[in-house]
Chains A and B, each alone.
Chain A
Amino acid sequence: MNLLLLVLALPAAGFLIALALPRSSPASSRYWALALSLATFVGSLALLGWFDRSLAGDQFTVNLPWIASPEIRFHIAADGVSLWLVLLSTFLTPICVLISWNHIQSRVKEFYAFLLLLEFGLVGVFLAQDLFLFYVFWEVSLVPMYFLIGIWGHERRIYAAVKFFLYTMAGSVLMLAAIIYLYNRAGTFSYAAILDQLASGRLLFTPFEQMLLFLAFFVAFAIKVPLFPLHTWLPDAHVEAPTAGSVMLASVMLKMGTFGILHYALPLFPSAARRCAPWIAVLAIIGIIYGALVAMVQPNMKKLVAYSSVSHLGFVVLGIFSFTQLGLDGAVYQMLNHGITTGALFALVGLMYERRHSLAIEDYGGVATAAPWLSTAFLIATLASIGLPLLNNFVGEFLVLQGAALANFTWAAWASLGVILAACYMLWMYQRVFYGELTEKVRSHMPDLNLREWAVVIPLIAMMVWMGVYSKSFLDPVGKTTARVLEQTQVNVPYRVDLRMPARTEVSRAR
């Protein structure tokens, strides 16, 4: 059996079986979800082992017929970028199972079932090689997250869940229109075949068409990222979601947007993407600075981390639209970093919420005395988040800024402001929460990490250090794939020319 199919099928099977587990025994659901998500993670590790790092193209391809007319195929494969994103999803799912162990007490069975369904949807989004299949997974992942926020969230959960659903839905229907349009022009949903037609010049778009199609895709992705000014759903969704929901949302779901831009929007519509690049870069920079400034004034820890996500994801978008190898590598690396670091921050904030039942910064103080290990873990995640050298975010941000500087030095200059601001808001929050006078309420409610929580924290911190110290092990396959994306955006540039001009087939074939 194909390994990739296994990694995708395990969560789906897990979801169905989780539905059949007895409601009366929540423990069975917990252990089942843990076992299954660990098995999926092991499967994806094996994927990493078998992955041929010297290739830029798709690997572990599974291509099965699904619907005959119009032809839609169940076509999945991994490349150097999607491989890491799949690993990120499968790595974080068991962690989410563990942090929800005591936190989720009502409707436990449904919670873990939805978590596994979410994993299925996310893995599918990154692996799909058929535009239609991609859209299916894209929407499927929406449903479990909606329920995760809406059922197990905090006070304003319903508002947040509905807002989240509607924002994403509004973006994705336009993408659906664009996908159907592409199909009608290309006669296929197969992504590789469409790229091939573009490269060989058999499929040509007028600049106007290309721009509209690009925007239809891009808006759907930009909402998910979220790019300023489409980010307003994010603070609500993050703050109201249960800890596991926040972690999955921040760490993996937002990457669906940036992955989509990198994997679909750029290669499909290169000249429109290039033409929009300055505007998008400016929006990304506004997002970086705006997110950081708003984070600084948040009285709520979770909201602070949520706004820091807006800022960090701005770096990813900026890196992508620098159209440089360094920028793209940095963007992908930053996607992974943000997944680990922000995931860790949300997890740790969640652990503190479980203890003190408050997210307000002012309700804390002196936690470092009461729970030194928890504070240490939080400190490491904080330092990683602000981009301290030897921790993961530093590498990503550095690459992005370097790439941005190559494209336009002013961009890099403004964006680096975000790094400075990150240090301000994160360290200030850390100071107010962990130092200062220890109140009685905090002391009595703040035991240190227990064994289960250590199991959550250690892998995350290990990854931060590893990715910060030895980035080469991650960046090698990434570089191959991003180079291919760049090549695709170069080769297709002639499409800017008039429709009647002969396509430059030779150039595109010569890669």
Chain B
Amino acid sequence: MPVSPMFNPGDLICFLPEIILTAMGTFIMVLDPLLNRRESKVYGTLSLATLAAAIVAAVYAYSQPGPAFGGMLIVDGFATFFRVLVLGVGILTILPSFSFLRRQQAETSEFHALLLFSIAGQCIMAAANDLIIIFIGLEISSIASYILAGYLRDDKRANEAALKYFLLGSFATGFFLYGVALIYGETGSINLSVVRAVVAGPDAPLPVMVGLAASLMFVGLAFKVSASPFQIWAPDVYQGAPTPVTAFLSAGPKAAAFAIFLRIFMTAFAPIGEAWAPLVWASALLSMTIGNFAALLQTNVKRMLAYSSIAHAGYVMVALASRSEIGTAAAMFYLAAYALMNVGAFAVVSHLSGKGEQYQSIEDFAGLAQKQPLTAAMLSIFLLSLIGVPLTGGFFGKFYIFKAALESHLVWLTVLGLLNSAVAAYYYLRLLVMMYFRDPGDAVSAAEPLTPALSAALILPAIGTLFLGIFPGWVLDFAGRSSSLVK
């Protein structure tokens, strides 16, 4: 594809979601001193409207699919899928944050502005077709998330989380950038399609150098998706960050990072797939095993879900390891299902956490089913989906991933992965046990009744999870059609 620096005004439509997000994010920050009201309702509602508008814009942009800005961006089904996904995660993050922020007396506009900026970065990542644009998107998303992780600035754990996330995240980005530089040096281009053509072509650069570049990018991206062995930061950050932010981190940035992971490795580095496949294979197995076995030992729910999130990253890595379009589609489906069930589960955690997030232990869920049957029922759906019980999205996600893996003859990875998911059942069941089989404790007795926003934050993902579990065809068909990526 020829790279032309020509600017075409029509291309702006392809960039509309990001424009809306950035403009509204800035507007919210400006509005704050003018309004002079410590009330997140206004900002929250504005953000919700912004995100909804951005979804419309993302879908509208897809009406003219194709590259934009001289091939730096590309609006294809894949990009649209992930844009809508991260925007949806944004909505599901804001809904439970109303009551959470009120409880922590931290209702400021920055929270919402930063969230919008971070999502804007993720939308760029989803649509980027150029290593520098990918890097810019990654940075926009990451810097905003570093601040969000430390948003409760009086909280020691949140500070620790933000610092850790920032330091290690910067390192990872450095690795990634190093890889980009190497690729540019070797191929003379940063456009993924061009890089692919050069790597596969007759004048291919030294395999060692391309391999080195791919490994460096792998390190950076594996960090962002919290895949082993670069997952060490995740438990501390997830535990320390404010719960709605944790929910966001575990779904939005992760999905976007997987989007670029898939795009880079399935296009630019697809020709050297044989070389990186063992790397992904090992990382997938390590992530699943470390995530699941470490989660078995946790007593803090957020920490447990953090390890579970590492394990789920491992499942998506299995899809990547299968190196096929079916695998890409399976990863897309899985990330959608995972976002719904995980954000939903965190919404319950944030609902129950109480003032100062004092209730985070698994014990604190005791008797939830007796006090708030609806909340418990919704969390059960999310947990069953995380376990992978049929008729939930999580089950079909796993099913498609392991089907793709078997088609690529990854028999051992499949067997070990499925056994892993049986191990995982244990720690999710512990929460179910608490909710249904125990009598109510302090946390549950102190829990506020569900607000309408919170109910929506629980019911919407629950419906989504069941929908993906009963009619997976709709989403999977779209993912399947979009998985071929522009090469």
Residues of A within 8 A of B (CB): 23, 67-70, 107, 135-136, 139-140, 142-143, 146-147, 150-151, 157-158, 161-162, 165-166, 169-170, 173-174, 176-177, 180-181, 183-184
Asked if B472 and A173 sit within 8 Å, CB to CB, the answer is: no
Q: How far is the CB of B22 from chain A (nearest CB, A)?
A: 38
Residues of B within 8 A of A (CB): 370, 373, 384, 387, 389-391, 395, 399, 402-403, 406-407, 411, 414-415, 418-419, 421-422, 425-426, 429-430, 432-433, 436-437, 471-473, 476-477, 480
Asked if B389 and A174 sit within 8 Å, CB to CB, the answer is: no
Q: Are A139 and B390 also in contact (CB < 8 A) when A151-B437, A184-B406 are?
A: yes
> Which residues of A sit under 8 angstroms from B399, Cβ to Cβ?
176, 180
> Which residues of B sit under 8 angstroms from A170, Cβ to Cβ?
419, 422
> Which residues of A sit under 8 angstroms from B433, Cβ to Cβ?
150, 158, 161-162
Q: Determine which of B387, B418, B437, B480 lies in contact with A177 in the assembled complex, contact meaning CB atoms within 8 Å.
A: B418
> Which residues of B sit under 8 angstroms from A142, Cβ to Cβ?
389
Asked if A166 and B403 sit within 8 Å, CB to CB, the answer is: no
**Cα-based distance from A142 to B422 in the complex (angstroms):** 13
> Which residues of B sit under 8 angstroms from A68, Cβ to Cβ?
473, 477
**Cα-based distance from A68 to B473 in the complex (angstroms):** 6
> Which residues of B sit under 8 angstroms from A166, Cβ to Cβ?
422, 425-426, 429
Q: Are A173 and B422 also in contact (CB < 8 A) when A180-B406, A184-B403 are?
A: yes
Asked if A140 and B391 sit within 8 Å, CB to CB, the answer is: yes
**Cα-based distance from A69 to B422 in the complex (angstroms):** 26
> Which residues of B sit under 8 angstroms from A135, Cβ to Cβ?
390
Q: Are A139 and B414 also in contact (CB < 8 A) when A151-B437, A180-B399, A184-B403 are?
A: no
Asked if A69 and B473 sit within 8 Å, CB to CB, the answer is: yes
Asked if A173 and B418 sit within 8 Å, CB to CB, the answer is: yes
Given contacts A166-B422, A169-B387, A170-B419, 12 further A-B contacts (CB under 8 A): A146-B429, A147-B436, A157-B437, A158-B433, A161-B437, A162-B433, A165-B425, A166-B426, A174-B418, A176-B399, A177-B415, A184-B403
Q: How far is the CB of B395 from chain A (nearest CB, A)?
A: 8
| CB<8 Å pairs between A and B, sample of 15 | A67-B472, A107-B370, A140-B391, A150-B432, A151-B437, A157-B437, A161-B433, A169-B387, A173-B419, A176-B399, A177-B418, A180-B406, A180-B414, A181-B406, A184-B406
**Cα-based distance from A127 to B403 in the complex (angstroms):** 24
**Cα-based distance from A118 to B414 in the complex (angstroms):** 29
Q: How far is the CB of A76 from chain B (nearest CB, A)?
A: 16
**Cα-based distance from A162 to B414 in the complex (angstroms):** 24
Asked if A165 and B419 sit within 8 Å, CB to CB, the answer is: no
Q: How far is the CB of A16 from chain B (nearest CB, A)?
A: 12
Looking at chain B's contact residues, is the secondary structure mostly helix, strand, loop, or mixed?
helix
Q: Determine which of A69, A70, A139, A157 lies in contact with B389 in the assembled complex, contact meaning CB atoms within 8 Å.
A: A139
Asked if A177 and B421 sit within 8 Å, CB to CB, the answer is: no
Closest to A167 in B: B422
Asked if A169 and B422 sit within 8 Å, CB to CB, the answer is: yes
> Which residues of B sit under 8 angstroms from A161, Cβ to Cβ?
433, 437
Q: Determine which of B384, B407, B480 lies in contact with A143 in the assembled complex, contact meaning CB atoms within 8 Å.
A: B384
> Which residues of A sit under 8 angstroms from B429, Cβ to Cβ?
146, 162, 165-166
> Which residues of B sit under 8 angstroms from A165, Cβ to Cβ?
425, 429
Q: Are A136 and B390 also in contact (CB < 8 A) when A166-B425, A176-B418, A177-B415 are?
A: yes
Q: How far is the CB of A315 from chain B (nearest CB, A)?
A: 29
Q: How far is the CB of A129 from chain B (nearest CB, A)?
A: 16
Q: How far is the CB of A502 from chain B (nearest CB, A)?
A: 26
Asked if B390 and A177 sit within 8 Å, CB to CB, the answer is: no
> Which residues of A sit under 8 angstroms from B426, Cβ to Cβ?
162, 166
Q: How far is the CB of A246 from chain B (nearest CB, A)?
A: 17
> Which residues of B sit under 8 angstroms from A176, Cβ to Cβ?
399, 402, 418
Asked if B422 and A177 sit within 8 Å, CB to CB, the answer is: no
Closest to B421 in A: A173
**Cα-based distance from A140 to B411 in the complex (angstroms):** 26
Asked if A70 and B403 sit within 8 Å, CB to CB, the answer is: yes
Q: How far is the CB of B326 from chain A (nearest CB, A)?
A: 9
Asked if B402 and A177 sit within 8 Å, CB to CB, the answer is: yes
Q: How far is the CB of B179 from chain A (nearest CB, A)?
A: 34
Closest to A135 in B: B390
**Cα-based distance from A134 to B106 in the complex (angstroms):** 50
> Which residues of A sit under 8 angstroms from B476, Cβ to Cβ?
67, 69
**Cα-based distance from A69 to B473 in the complex (angstroms):** 7
> Which residues of A sit under 8 angstroms from B414, Cβ to Cβ?
177, 180
> Which residues of B sit under 8 angstroms from A70, Cβ to Cβ?
403
**Cα-based distance from A161 to B436 in the complex (angstroms):** 12
Q: How far is the CB of B347 from chain A (nearest CB, A)?
A: 22
Asked if A177 and B406 sit within 8 Å, CB to CB, the answer is: yes
**Cα-based distance from A104 to B320 in the complex (angstroms):** 49
Question: Which 6 A/B pairs are nearest by Cβ-Cβ distance?
Answer: A173-B418, A136-B390, A170-B422, A139-B390, A169-B422, A150-B437
Asked if B473 and A67 sit within 8 Å, CB to CB, the answer is: yes
Asked if A136 and B403 sit within 8 Å, CB to CB, the answer is: no
Q: How far is the CB of B187 from chain A (nearest CB, A)?
A: 36
> Which residues of A sit under 8 angstroms from B407, Cβ to Cβ?
184
Q: Are A158 and B403 also in contact (CB < 8 A) when A67-B472, A173-B418 are?
A: no
Q: Determine which of B436, B471, B480 lies in contact with A69 in the assembled complex, contact meaning CB atoms within 8 Å.
A: B480
**Cα-based distance from A162 to B390 in the complex (angstroms):** 18
> Which residues of B sit under 8 angstroms from A183, Cβ to Cβ?
403
Asked if B422 and A143 sit within 8 Å, CB to CB, the answer is: no
**Cα-based distance from A416 to B218 in the complex (angstroms):** 63
**Cα-based distance from A69 to B480 in the complex (angstroms):** 9
**Cα-based distance from A146 to B430 in the complex (angstroms):** 12
Q: Are A151 and B425 also in contact (CB < 8 A) when A177-B414, A180-B406 are?
A: no
> Which residues of A sit under 8 angstroms from B384, Cβ to Cβ?
143
Asked if A158 and B437 sit within 8 Å, CB to CB, the answer is: yes
Closest to B476 in A: A69
Q: How far is the CB of B416 from chain A (nearest CB, A)?
A: 10
